[in-house]
Amino acid sequence: MVASYPRRLVNAAKVFVQGRIVSRHARETGQSRETIYRDSRRVSRELEEGQQQRQELERRTQELEAEIGRLRKLAGTNPFQDPDKVAQFTAMAQAEGVSLSVIRQLLTILQASRRSR
């Protein structure tokens, strides 16, 4: 069983691997040598572009992994354990008209929910 590969890949393989037989391959397939060399250059460019894309994706993956680490660290912190953040939350809630008793209830719930995670 012979697999059918795209002509341009076969042509490129002939140039890359067996450069001396380009003329014979051209005769056997009814193509010009220029067509074979053109296909070879095209495949070479596509391989280079693929390599550049792969490098860019690897760089982006590293950036995203760093961001995930930062977010996991941030998720592990409880802003409601920081006295300054509690004071800021309380002041803002009071400025919005929330009573101190409701603020205490909210802080109790928020601090407890963060501990249980």
**Per-residue pLDDT tens over the stretch 48-68:** 999 999 999 999 999 999 999
Residue 14, Cβ neighbours under 10 Å: how many? 22
Same domain, residue pair 45 and 97: no
Residue 48 has what pLDDT?
A: 92
How many domains in the chain? 2
pTM of the model: 0.52
Same domain, 21 and 51: yes
Same domain, 84 and 50: no
Where does the pLDDT of residue 30 fall: very low under 50, low under 70, confident under 90, or very high at 90 and above? very high
Contact by Cβ (8 Å): 105, 90: no
Does one domain contain both 5 and 52? yes
72/95 same-domain check: no
Q: Are residues 72 and 88 in the same domain?
A: no
Paired tokens of 100: 């101190």
Name the nearest CA neighbour of 40 among 84, 82, 63, 7. Answer: 7
Do 47 and 97 fall within a single domain? Answer: no
